[in-house]
Amino acid sequence: MDATILDEVAWQIDLPQLKQQLGIKEGGSYAAETEGMAARAEAIGRPKAMYKAGLIESRGEDHVVIEGRTFKSRVLAVNLEKVHRVFPFVATCGVEIEEWSSAFTSVLEKFWADAIKGLALGASIFALLEHIKEQHHPGDVSMMNPGSIESWSLSEQRALFSILGAPEDSIGVELMESCFMKPSMSVSGMWFPTEHHFENCMLCPMENCPGRRAPYDKELYDRKYKKDSRG
10-residue block means of pLDDT along the chain (231 residues)?
92 94 88 94 97 96 96 95 96 97 94 96 97 95 93 95 95 97 96 91 82 85 79 52
Residue 65's pLDDT is what? 97
Contact present, 142 and 199 (Cβ < 8 Å): yes
Q: What is the DSSP string of 23-43?
A: TPPTTSTTHHHHHHHHHHHHH
Q: Give the distance, in angstroms, between the CA of residue 217 and the centroid of all CA atoms in the same chain.
A: 21
- Amino acid of residue 87: F
Contact present, 128 and 89 (Cβ < 8 Å): yes
Residue 229's pLDDT is what? 58
Helices 31-44 + 15-22 axis angle, to 10:
120
> How far is 219 from 37, CA to CA, in rounded Å?
44
134: CB partners within 8 A, 6+ apart: none
pTM tops 0.85: yes
11: CB partners within 8 A, 6+ apart: 42, 45, 47, 119, 120, 123, 124
Residue 158's pLDDT is what? 96
Domains of the chain: 9-230 (3.40.109.40)
Residue 81, classed as helix, strand or coil, is: coil
Contact present, 18 and 115 (Cβ < 8 Å): yes
Residue 28's pLDDT is what? 81
Per residue in 76-93, is it b (16+ CB within 10 Å) or e — as a string? bbbbbeeeeebbbbbbbb
- Amino acid of residue 74: R
> How far is 32 from 87, CA to CA, in rounded Å?
41
Peptide bond into 183 cis (omega under 30): yes
Contact present, 175 and 164 (Cβ < 8 Å): no
Contact present, 173 and 124 (Cβ < 8 Å): no
Q: What is the largest CA-CA distance in the chain?
A: 62
DSSP 57: E
